[in-house]
Amino acid sequence: MKQSQLFTKTLRSIDKEEKSISTQFLLKSSFIYKELAGAYVYLPLGLRVLNKINDIIREEMNAIGGQELFLTSLQNPELWKKTDRWGDESVDNWFRTKLKNNTELGLSFTHEEPLTNLMKNYISSYKDLPKFAYQIQTKFRNELRAKGGIMRCREFLMKDMYSFCRDQKEHEIFYEKSKQAYINVFERCGLGDITYLTFASGGVFSKYSHEFQTLAKNGEDTIYVDKKRKLAVNKEVYNDEVLNNLNLDKKDLIEERAVEVGNIFTLGYKFSTALDLQFTNENGVKQNVFMGSYGIGPGRVMGTIAEIYNDKNGLMWPKNVSPFNVHLLDFRTNKDDKFYNILQKNNIEVLYDDRNENPGVKLKDADLIGIYYRFILSDKLGDKIELKKRTDKTNQILSQKESLDLLKKEFFK
């Protein structure tokens, strides 16, 4: 894409209320736009990052047998009354609305109820199990206060997967697979090294749930990390009994601030009992389905990446989630599209800064936007390219062919 055509620009002034540096960078570089407190527009550059995160999540969920669907936001209260999650006393963050005939509806903040109910069409025998369904869809949560940019919103995308198994044993096999799938997602998004599988409070059917917590000094959560074993314990369950259970030693644990980028949860029979999702087992006996839920917020992952990967000049996107592979800055007096076209023909994603701006402006914008590779064309370089990664301190100068080979190696190995 040619930057002269891009409808957004980098901005000089932004909303002073946004305190976090990463949110300021996301706003200044026009990845996002604040529509109202807790609701953000994804502008073209931001949507490219979000879609890359979504695609990574899809690949990993599909790899463990997940099947994608797309549920509705509008919800009929009847279903939620059966699980006692309609009233304000049990759920305090519904957005409610009404049909013209005054029928009350809700905007879904999660989707256990409608999916469990839908599954009654498809699950009747043990032969129908296990099954795994997920979606990437908008959630609405009527938070009292919205803060932290795209980290905690009133309207946001969520990948939520739900598992339906014959029993706890079958569930646990999938639950373990899902842990690895989640680890893969964060690894591919550039957060692998600093994201910890974290024990958190469970429910009736499981002593613990598991969170994926990414270390970040502005994180909302406090966790205790065993870096050697690559495990952590959320403050909410940090006590001697739990440490004993998990065979963790206080001496090995460091207190850290972190962002919850994902969680997985054993639901057990809670929803299948309330909504009557049953199957007939091998012996002809009816049983409730054993369920689990698995969430990741792609927008929060994007916000976390921005929070981790930045310097004083702007964002620094990891390779797999960078909005483009290359930011090609053209400083030449007589610009032409030749090298841009070569890159495009080779399926390299390029943002081509063909604007009539001086090099200083282009360099500053490139640092703010933070695309993985920066390539420079200039009169003094002739046919050569000056290139560096956003995270590098030093440049190298290569021929067009050499630089293309390097990109091919990096992006299509």
By CB under 8 A, name the binding residues for a copy of itself. 1, 5-9, 11, 30, 33, 35-36, 38-44, 47, 50, 65, 67-76, 95-100, 105, 107, 114, 118-119, 121-122, 131-133, 138, 140, 142-144, 154-155, 164
Q: How far is the CB of 365 from a copy of itself (least distance, A)?
A: 14
Q: Which is nearer to a copy of itself, 1 or 246 (CB)?
A: 1
The Cα 237–Cα 342 span in angstroms is: 56
Between 113 and 256, CB nearer to a copy of itself: 113
Rounded to the nearest 5°, which phi and psi values hold at 240?
-60, -40
Task: Give the whole-angstrom CA distance, residue 366 versus residue 369.
Answer: 5
CB of 351 to a copy of itself, least distance (A): 12
- The SS3 assignment for 363 reads helix
Q: Between residues 127 and 312, which has the closer beta carbon with respect to a copy of itself?
A: 127
Cβ closest to a copy of itself, residue 95 vs residue 411: 95
Q: In this structure, what token pair is assigned to residue 236?
A: 């909410």
- As measured in angstroms, the least distance from the Cβ of 33 to a copy of itself is 6
CB 297 within 8 A of CB 182: no
Q: Which is nearer to a copy of itself, 106 or 219 (CB)?
A: 106
Shorter beta-carbon distance to a copy of itself: residue 131 or 235: 131
Our CB check for a copy of itself shows the closer of 98 and 413 to be 98
Structure tokens belonging to residue 34: 């604040």
Q: Cis link prior to 130 (omega < 30° from 0)?
A: yes
Smallest separation (angstroms) from a copy of itself to the CB of 126: 14
Q: How far is the CB of 127 from a copy of itself (least distance, A)?
A: 9
Pairing of the two strands 290-296 and 254-268: antiparallel
Closest contact distance (angstroms) between CB of 278 and a copy of itself is 16
In the block, residue with structure tokens 């109202």:
36
| C-alpha distances in Å from residue 313, one per residue of 18, 26, 124, 363 | 17, 12, 58, 10
Shortest CA distance to 34 belongs to which of 20, 26, 366, 367?
26
Buried b (16+ CB within 10 A) or exposed e, 223-250: bbbbeeeebbbbeebbeeebbeebebee
CB hemisphere CA count around 43 (13 angstroms): 17
The rounded distance, in Å, linking the Cα atoms of 239 and 141 is 31
Q: Smaller CB distance to a copy of itself: residue 38 or 219? A: 38
Burial of 214 (0-12, 13-18, 19+ CB in 10 A): buried
Measured CA to CA, the distance from residue 41 to residue 34 in angstroms comes to: 6
User: How far apart are CB 166 and a copy of itself at their closest, in Å?
Assistant: 14
Shortest Å, Cβ 312 to a copy of itself: 24
Contact predicate 178/215, CB 8 Å: no
Question: In angstroms, what is the minimal distance from the CB of 277 to a copy of itself?
Answer: 13
Nearer to a copy of itself by Cβ, of 67 and 391: the residue is 67
